[in-house]
Amino acid sequence: MDTLQTLALGFIGIVIVNNLVFTKFLGTCPYLGVSGRLDMAFGMGCAVTFVITLAGAMTWIIDHGFLMGTQLEVTRYVCYILVIAGAVQLVEMYLRKFFPTLYDSFGIFLPLITTNCAILGLCLFIYLWQVQTLLEAAVLSFGAGIGFTLAICIMAGIRENLELADVPAPLRGAPITLITAGLLTLAFMGFAGMIR
């Protein structure tokens, strides 16, 4: 029961309270680039969730199973990024073979995900927070993906409406998106302290 409570609180915590985009500034590049339309945003969010859960679990396993046992902790970052790149490749190949329609709808997003700071960032945070169990790492990774999807979809909805507004010329594009993101961050700050 305790485990379930910790997991549930951890999940809600990372989706809403410690949302990766709004509080830790991770995943900002695709967040600004891909949030133009709601369907593209949702597709990106799903792809990221898929890869991030896989990557989070695999890096935890490598960390605890291999790196900490031997004295190879200095190669941690190299291992993490190689695992993530490998995971993205695997997912791409698997999808292309078995789910071609899904692969087509993900389009260009999958290869772009390797440089998404959110994935490497989450793996590093899982190490930093000293997460003890694989289950907790997997749940937190999944939650991070969901949080990212939530953030990017909200932003896409707002931007679709912004297209109809009269934005001054220098502010068009990235600046107004950033200011909107800032206001969203302000809104999400209201959730801080919810989980103790």
Partner 1 sequence: MSKLRYFFQESWLLMVSSVVFGGLLAATNSAWEPRIRQNEIDKFNALAGAMLPQAIRFEAIAEKVSVDLGKGKTAQVEVKRGLTEQAQTAGWAFVCEGSGFADKIKLVVATDAGFAKLAGFGVLSSNETPGFGDKITIKNGFFQSQFKGAPADLLTLVRTGDRTKIDSEIVAISGATVTSQAVVDILNRFISQVKQGLEEKGVLQ
Partner 2 sequence: MAEETKNVSLGKTLADGIWSQNPVLRLLLGMCPTLAVTAAVKPAITMGLSVIFVLVCSNIVVSMMRHLLKPHLRILMFTLTIATFVTIADLYLKAYLPEMSAALGPYIPLIIVNCIIICRAEACAAKNGILVSVVDAIGMGLGFTAALCVLASVREILATGKWFDSVVMPGWFVPWAAMSMPVGAFITLGLILALVNQLAGKKT
Give the interface with partner 1 as residue ranges (CB under 8 A).
2-3, 5-6, 18, 74-75, 78, 129, 132, 192-193, 195-196
Q: Which one of 38, 158, 176, 195 is in contact with partner 2 (CB under 8 A)?
A: 176
Q: Which does 174 bind (CB under 5 to 8 A by kind): partner 2, partner 1, none?
A: partner 2
Length of the chain in terms of residues written: 196
Cα gap 77→50, rounded to integer Å: 21
- Segment lying near partner 2 (by CB under 8 A), choices 16-24, 38-46, 94-102, 131-139: 16-24
C-beta of 173: minimal distance to partner 1 in Å?
30
Q: Decide whether 18 or 177 has the Cβ nearer to partner 1.
A: 18
Nearest Cα to Cα of residue 25 among 136, 148, 176: 148
Find out whether 15 and 150 touch, Cβ atoms under 8 Å.
yes
- DSSP helix/strand/coil, 12: helix
Dihedral (CA of 65, 119, 128, 140) sign: negative
Q: Which one of 81, 102, 150, 162 is in contact with partner 2 (CB under 8 A)?
A: 81
Instruction: Report the largest interatomic distance among the alpha carbons of the chain, rounded to a whole angstrom.
Output: 59
Find out whether 152 and 34 touch, Cβ atoms under 8 Å.
yes
C-beta of 148: minimal distance to partner 1 in Å?
19
* Interface residues toward partner 2, by CB under 8 A: 22-29, 32-33, 74-78, 80-82, 85, 114-117, 119-121, 124-125, 128, 169-171, 173-179, 181-183, 185-186, 189
